[in-house]
Amino acid sequence: MICLLPNCCFLSETSRMLEVYRALRARGAEVRVATHGGPYARVLTDARVAYDLIGEGMGPERCASFVRSVPGIGSPDQSMWAYEEMRDYVQAEVAYFRTHGVRAAVTGWTLTALLSTRVAGIPLVTEHAGSFLPPVFERGLLPAPSRPVGLPLERWLPRPVRRWMVNKGAAGLTLYTGDFNRLAHELGVEGVPSFPALLLGDLTLVTDIPEVLGVSQDDVDSWTPRDPSRYRAGTRLRYTGPLYARLPLPVPERVERFLTGRDPIVYVAVTSSEPELVRRIVGSLTPLDARILVAATVHELGDLENQQVMVEPLLPNHLIMPRVDLAVAAGGQGSVQTALASGVPLIGVPLQPEQDANVAFAERAGAARLVPIAAAGTRRMTKIASAVLADEHYRHNARRLQGLFAAVDGAGTAAEAVLDLIGETAETTPRPVAPRSGQQ
């Protein structure tokens, strides 16, 4: 039995986990889905995927506070869960694993699984590290942060110096790990020695391709830590390819009508953010000679609607993005990959360093532009959006990456990596060719 543990406070994670679920089931695997609750559990319900609720369940207010607490947004001296809350969830997960004979767990931001799987004695697979990976920062490939992250004298340091400091210091960060280690000691299991270790399971799925990440397949799949003390014993990485959502939702009729016509269309899908940021972004786009489609998700943004702007609560990005001229997202890996897989250029407004990297790597490939959050809602963003719409090179490069993405079955390869871990044989055609080697 394989247990998927999506954190349903996040649309991107819930939808990506849904892709892994489908791929595992297509290969004949026994799968259970369990969650702490959250507003996007409805995505599972809409897809007719049964799930179990572990613990009391996180309501909308708790999920909103959780999102505000994550790295890059919340204070780094906390663990995202209150200590007692964390202990309760860990114990509930352990009981769930034992009751259902779970042999491996797969998660993203249900980070309590870092401890519960150790107590239960089963391996943990993670898929949420994005571009914040040891082979990336060990090679100095992370960009300088687009917003303050607490570096000494950060305001006065040149960008190359900030970039060097971020890459050099990444492995030694211990942000957000305090309560995890306190509870690990209480439970008598291995702790979490660094912030990068907080993002890595026993097996971490690298859900990208070498041409974007900038690290070859061999260097990822054979990675061993330069400083083993910074990671939990046995941590491994494996390239599996792009993993993004294909929500089983129709395109609403009024959106279909909006998508027709001559004017360019800009699609704004900035989830897991404060609504004011979305308002600022839309405000910077309205001077363009373009129509604007907004995915509001959990935000109340209906007042933005007018002849130029349409707002819908939830849209299937994989069906919308191929029909627009420019996508605007925070820069989560799923949103970036959906745009590139659709052959559409992207503007990213990162909320945290991992999103900085996702957008910066797409920008390096010539298919995106990064706009710092401080510039959202300003004339600078208006000018950048206008430039991307006018320059065909962005779309050409996005379409080049679209072809590379199409050659890789990311969800299928992820499912096979999980099955390989527990020694099961996939009931399917041979594994797709791994992503082609990329830059060093």
Q: Can you tell me the distance from the alpha carbon of 287 to that of 270, in angstroms, rounded to the nearest whole number? A: 19
Question: For position 438, what pLDDT does the model report?
Answer: 36
Question: For position 370, what pLDDT does the model report?
Answer: 96
pLDDT value at 216 more than 60 = yes
Give the pLDDT band of residue 151 (cuts 50, 70, 90): low
Q: Can you tell me the distance from the alpha carbon of 249 to that of 121, in angstroms, rounded to the nearest whole number? A: 38
pLDDT value at 301 more than 80 = no
pLDDT in tens, 253-264: 999 999 987 789
Question: For position 439, what pLDDT does the model report?
Answer: 35
pLDDT in tens, 375-397: 998 999 999 999 999 999 999 99
Q: Can you tell me the distance from the alpha carbon of 195 to that of 326, in angstroms, rounded to the nearest whole number? A: 34
Report the mean per-residue pLDDT for the chain: 89
pLDDT value at 423 more than 70 = yes
pLDDT value at 293 more than 70 = yes
Per-residue pLDDT, averaged over 122-148, amounts to: 90
Torsion sign, CA atoms 253, 259, 263, 264: positive
Cβ neighbours of residue 203 under 8 Å, at least 6 residues apart?
123, 124, 125, 126, 236, 237, 238, 417, 418, 421
Question: For position 428, what pLDDT does the model report?
Answer: 38
Q: Give, in order, the Cα–Cα distances in Å from 42 to each of 23, 51, 161, 380.
A: 20, 10, 44, 37
Question: For position 440, what pLDDT does the model report?
Answer: 31
- Burial status of residue 133 (CB atoms within 10 A of its CB: 0-12, 13-18, 19 or more): buried
Question: For position 379, what pLDDT does the model report?
Answer: 95
Per-residue pLDDT, averaged over 327-342, amounts to: 92
132 closest CA partner among 352, 412, 409: 352
Q: Can you tell me the distance from the alpha carbon of 156 to that of 102, in angstroms, rounded to the nearest whole number? A: 51
Total residue count of the chain as it appears in this document = 440
Question: For position 351, what pLDDT does the model report?
Answer: 87
Of 44-53, 66-75, 155-164, which gets the smallest average pLDDT? 66-75
Question: For position 265, what pLDDT does the model report?
Answer: 95
* Phi and psi torsions of 366, nearest 5°: 80, 15
Are 294 and 353 a contacting pair, CB within 8 Å? no
pLDDT in tens, 229-248: 999 999 999 999 999 888 88
Question: For position 437, what pLDDT does the model report?
Answer: 33
Question: For position 427, what pLDDT does the model report?
Answer: 44
Dihedral angle, C-alpha 144, 72, 359, 292, nearest 10 °: -130
Span between the terminal Cα atoms of the chain, in Å: 38
Give the pLDDT band of residue 148 (cuts 50, 70, 90): confident
